[in-house]
Amino acid sequence: MDAPDDPAAVLAGIGERIAACTRCPRLVSWRREVAGHPPPRFAGERYWARPVPGFGDPAARVYVLGLATAAHGGNRTGRAFTGNPTGDWVVRALHRAGLADRPTSAHADDGLRLDGAWTGSAVRCAPPGNRPTPLERDTCLDFLSEEVRALTRLRVLLVLGGFAWDAVTRWAGVRPRPRFGHGVEHRLDGGPTLLGCYHPSRQNTNTGVLTEAMLDAVVARAVELAGP
């Protein structure tokens, strides 16, 4: 039986609480609406349609934090960065850096394992238009606090995009807030280093705002900051 302070057991408990959360009525309604009216490519699939827990290695030194659960990614598959183009970019980069055992993340039972990395989103439900409200953002940050406490070896929060950067700097109480940018670093007093990265959205990757080389470089910097 796991000890009460075993990180894996603690994180599993946090994941159960995340999946059961119904605190934001608009998000509860939207995640169900999306599941009930999937696009043709996902017709007939059973959607997770709940908040998505974090996923990865309980001994992680790097936490990859996204904006919010994707409507037809995590909201469909039940796992962070899984089943959508953003997840593909992130997991390929983690694999190239030696933090994932494979370059694909298709569904929750595909056997993917992360080594030294944890993944999750600032907002655990899929929001309409990928735009959570400030209240929804702030309501969800308690889960980030719980995960960070449980990830006792954590050294780096790799933050994808300006929204997630704003969320995590508010969560950390940073004053004045450091400006977001690709490759920007900010060391929290007594805590992990924040490392900014452009979000691997289709808009950014299709236009070259973010390239795989840029993403690889920032993941490599996260590994360097995390140490051995």
The pLDDT tens digits for 199-221 are 999 999 999 999 999 999 999 99
Predicted confidence (pLDDT) per residue in 61-106, tens digit: 999 999 999 999 999 999 999 999 999 999 999 999 999 999 999 9
Predicted confidence (pLDDT) per residue in 159-192, tens digit: 999 999 999 999 999 999 999 999 999 999 989 9
User: What is the structure's pLDDT at 228?
Assistant: 84
User: What is the structure's pLDDT at 2?
Assistant: 43
Give the mean pLDDT of 2-11: 79
Residue 180's nearest CA partner among 154, 160, 201, 203 is 160
* φ/ψ (deg, to 5) at 66: -95, -175
User: What is the structure's pLDDT at 190?
Assistant: 87
Measure the CA–CA gap between 181 and 168, rounded to whole angstroms.
14
Beta strands 156-160; 62-68: pairing state: parallel
* Residue pair 18/142 in contact by the 8 Å Cβ criterion: no
Q: Token pair for residue 198?
A: 């452009």
User: What is the structure's pLDDT at 184?
Assistant: 98
User: What is the structure's pLDDT at 5?
Assistant: 77
Could you identify the residue written with the tokens 């889960």?
143
Q: Would you call the peptide bond into 176 cis, given omega within 30 degrees of 0 as the criterion?
A: yes
